[in-house]
């Protein structure tokens, strides 16, 4: 078909959505990669605004568009524009907004039920642990149970302090026994023979105590003074005893409210007659169930939900994937009312050349076979390379990748090919982007939990960075600003409200720039400290004001004002000592308190932590500049831009290089080797049981990565492919060989 015919067919697919909206029929838009899903979603919202606006205004209603991340919220708001009749938010924001209005009796009951369930689960864990550990038998007797509970209550602060400091086993044992009453010491001494079991038992008893007290407080609360249950949007874990809950529990509570209380269904359906869910495949199953119950409750033609997404781009474990219709059948079977979704398939690909489309059709191998919107898009390239036998040396991966990309780069005219290179691990991205030492040093410092390292160090959303990492980001950007010839005094000082003249501001900048050019962040901090001391000797109030404005604008701190007000005894502390020993240390590890007991042990931990900070600040400044360029996404001007597979979701690039290997880090061994091994003659994989869900996840990740390419796609496999070469050829045809140069 011609381009014009394809466009008309695509318009008919869009009109199918409009027809569903007019008929009040809920629908699911199944749109493969590059199909213009976001465009379709926005056009659907615009259609309602153009045709249903008077009804929305009359009933004070809104369209709500639910997205997976805050980044997606901003993107849709930008493309849609502002409207008082459209709310774009994450599901958590929307649900808590409504629940918070609806507070509080039913939510209190849900929280009580959860506490009761957790109390029972904790009791079972205590019983199992005591049964499996002979050392715990004596402190768990009827005679000692209550004594140990009192011991936990009285000494929990000391217990967690010792844990935080990383106390050695002997020191920990000695301290715990020293705190015990005489009639408990014998049983406690026996229990402490296994420190690990004792700590787990202590935590369980403490958890049981706090949950029990919280439940008692709720039950004893005066009916006129209802307890307040709060959603903590900044936490990934519940604090049930403090009457606070996190993301997953918000979804759990919301689903129960919708399932059990018609008044809450009415609240949501009356407020939002149109609910659109973007990237449905990544949506939590509880949200889909919640929407299905709303659909079952709502009056026909007065409410609908529209799902937009692609189940083959489900790359997160928490997402519902391709199970929406199964959930709908399950809820329909409960007998209240059958609910259905009108399926609308968008099978035109607006992004890629036919060569890319043919590949991703093979990878997904389902009932959605895409075709290019423009049949003349036939100038793409797909090539799969393996290394020449004997060339796969793990310590030379970076060199091999660089050589491979260099081989590709000169191919187009004028050598102006920009390549987006997809790597499996954030660690690899850090290495290829030039800040591997920084990544390793912060990982070693252990002030960020391992599973939060990538989000808190590499997020491009600044408020997602760890507080200490954000402080270091501010430091590097201050260096960049000082050394950028285009930086204005207003950029450096902000609005000084005429308290600082241009001459005074310029003098401070001049003194800071006169210092020896720094090669590390530590040297930059020392330069600032020296410059501030030099200005302080002048004792000129206006120049002191200039210092304060600059520090406040660039670093968000009030030095030396805070020192004088809060730590008068340290009034002469230099900026460098204040910044490193107080601000950075506290952000990373909490405050240093030498008034604590066990000073010798505390000093050891403090010294270790201070060494970590020193190691971080002594990393070459070039690494920090590369890291900030990555965070600020300034790499767009570079010839090669590096990403992780996951980090490119929703993006598209002309030229893509994908680096593959058997494993996905240390924990997922043979992830991609197993995927290729599983392919049948038609390039399909069969998901038979729960273990094979890993194959489905790998296929989806591979599909998502390959479908980023608009024109050219090259894949380099770093491991030996002898055992899987015939399976790879099912997808790619000829496998080429890349021979890296010997260095």
Can you say which residues are annotated as belonging to the binding site? 31-38
Number of alpha carbons in the 13 Å side-chain half-sphere of residue 308: 22
Phi, psi of 446 (to 5 degrees): 60, 25
Q: Is the torsion defined by CA of 512, 518, 524, 530 positive or negative?
A: negative
Phi, psi of 387 (to 5 degrees): -80, 150
The continuous run of DSSP H or E covering 356 comes out as helix 354-364
- Mode of pairing for the β-strands spanning 419-423 and 381-387: unpaired
Q: Are 67 and 376 in contact (CB under 8 A)?
A: no
Burial class (CB in 10 A: 0-12, 13-18, 19+), 599: exposed
Residue where the block lists tokens 């050598």: 415
* C-alpha–C-alpha distance, residues 695 and 348, integer Å: 27
Q: Is the torsion defined by CA of 376, 1, 704, 691 positive or negative?
A: negative
Contacts (Cβ under 8 Å, ≥6 apart) of 162: 171, 172, 175
Phi, psi of 526 (to 5 degrees): -65, -40
The continuous run of DSSP H or E covering 67 comes out as strand 63-67
The continuous run of DSSP H or E covering 87 comes out as strand 86-90
Burial class (CB in 10 A: 0-12, 13-18, 19+), 277: buried
Q: Are 723 and 666 in contact (CB under 8 A)?
A: no
The continuous run of DSSP H or E covering 611 comes out as helix 599-617
Q: Which residues are 319's β-sheet partners? A: 284
Q: Is the peptide bond before 621 cis (omega within 30 degrees of 0)?
A: no
**Alpha-carbon Rg for the chain in angstroms:** 30
- Please enumerate, by residue number, every residue annotated as part of a binding site for ATP: 31-38
| Collapsed DSSP state (helix, strand, coil) of residue 508 | helix
Residue where the block lists tokens 């501010």: 474
Burial class (CB in 10 A: 0-12, 13-18, 19+), 274: buried
* C-alpha–C-alpha distance, residues 186 and 486, integer Å: 72
Number of C-beta neighbours around residue 427 at 10 A: 17
């Amino acid at each position: 078909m011609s381009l014009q015919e394809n466009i008309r067919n695509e318009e008919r697919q869009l009109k199918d959505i409009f027809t569903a909206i007019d008929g009040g029929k809920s629908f699911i838009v199944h749109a493969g990669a590059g199909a213009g899903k976001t465009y379709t979603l926005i056009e659907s919202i615009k259609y309602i605004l153009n045709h249903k606006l008077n009804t929305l205004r009359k009933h004070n209603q809104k369209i709500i568009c639910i997205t997976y991340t805050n980044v997606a919220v901003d993107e849709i708001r930008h493309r849609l524009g502002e409207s008082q009749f459209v709310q774009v938010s994450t599901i958590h924001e929307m649900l808590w907004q409504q629940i918070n209005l609806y507070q509080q009796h039913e939510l209190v009951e849900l929280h009580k039920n959860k506490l009761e369930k957790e109390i029972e689960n904790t009791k079972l864990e205590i019983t199992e642990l005591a049964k499996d550990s002979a050392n715990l038998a004596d402190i768990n007797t009827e005679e000692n149970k209550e004594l140990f509970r009192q011991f936990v209550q009285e000494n929990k602060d000391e217990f967690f302090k010792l844990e935080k400091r990383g106390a050695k086993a002997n020191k920990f044992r000695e301290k715990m026994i020293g705190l015990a009453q005489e009639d408990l010491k014998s049983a406690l001494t026996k229990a402490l023979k296994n420190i690990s079991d004792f700590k787990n038992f202590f935590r369980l008893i403490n958890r049981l105590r706090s949950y029990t007290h919280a439940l008692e407080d709720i039950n004893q609360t005066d009916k006129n003074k209802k307890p307040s249950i709060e959603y903590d949007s900044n936490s990934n874990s519940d604090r049930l005893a403090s009457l606070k809950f996190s993301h997953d529990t918000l979804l759990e509570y919301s689903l129960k409210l919708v399932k059990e209380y018609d008044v809450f269904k009415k609240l949501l359906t009356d407020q939002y007659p149109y609910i659109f869910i973007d990237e449905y495949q990544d949506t939590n199953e509880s949200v889909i169930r919640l929407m299905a119950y709303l659909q079952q409750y709502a009056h026909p033609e007065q409410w609908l939900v529209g799902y937009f997404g692609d189940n083959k781009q489900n790359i997160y474990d928490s997402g519902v994937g391709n199970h929406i219709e199964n959930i709908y059948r399950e809820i329909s079977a409960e007998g209240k009312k059958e609910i259905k979704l009108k399926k609308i398939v968008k099978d035109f690909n607006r992004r890629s050349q036919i060569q890319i489309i043919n590949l991703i059709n093979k990878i997904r191998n389902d009932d959605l076979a895409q075709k290019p919107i423009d049949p003349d898009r036939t100038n793409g390239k797909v090539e799969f390379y393996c290394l020449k036998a004997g060339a796969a040396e793990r310590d030379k991966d970076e060199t091999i990748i660089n050589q491979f990309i260099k081989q590709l780069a000169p191919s187009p005219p004028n050598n102006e090919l920009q390549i987006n290179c997809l790597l499996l691990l954030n660690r690899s991205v850090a290495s290829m982007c030039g800040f591997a030492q920084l990544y390793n040093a912060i990982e070693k410092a252990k002030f960020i939990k391992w599973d939060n390292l990538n989000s808190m160090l590499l997020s491009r959303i600044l408020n997602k960075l760890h507080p200490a990492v954000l402080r270091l980001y501010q430091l590097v950007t201050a260096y960049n600003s000082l050394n950028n010839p285009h930086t204005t005094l207003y950029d450096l000082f902000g609005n000084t409200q005429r308290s600082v003249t241009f001459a005074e501001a310029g003098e401070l900048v001049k003194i800071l720039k006169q210092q020896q050019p720094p090669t590390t962040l530590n040297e930059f901090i020392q330069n600032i400290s020296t410059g501030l001391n030099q200005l302080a000797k002048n004792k000129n109030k206006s120049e002191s004001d200039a210092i304060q404005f600059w520090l406040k604008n660039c670093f968000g701190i009030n030095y030396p004002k805070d020192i004088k007000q809060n730590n008068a005894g340290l009034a002469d502390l230099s900026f460098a000592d204040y910044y490193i020993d107080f601000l950075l240390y506290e952000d990373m590890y909490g405050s240093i308190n030498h008034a604590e007991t066990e000073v010798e042990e505390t000093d050891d931990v403090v010294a270790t932590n201070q060494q970590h900070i020193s190691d971080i600040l002594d990393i070459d400044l070039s690494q920090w500049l590369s890291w900030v360029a990555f965070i600020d996404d300034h790499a767009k001007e570079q010839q090669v831009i590096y990403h992780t597979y996951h980090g490119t979701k929703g993006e598209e690039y002309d030229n893509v290089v994908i680096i593959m290997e058997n494993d996905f880090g240390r924990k997922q061994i043979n992830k991609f080797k197993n995927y290729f091994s599983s392919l049948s003659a038609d390039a399909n994989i069969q998901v038979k049981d729960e273990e094979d869900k890993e194959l489905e996840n790998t296929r989806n990740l591979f599909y998502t990565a390959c479908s980023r390419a608009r024109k050219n796609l090259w894949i380099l496999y770093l491991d030996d492919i002898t055992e899987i070469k015939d399976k790879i050829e099912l997808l790619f045809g000829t496998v080429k060989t890349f021979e890296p140069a010997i260095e």
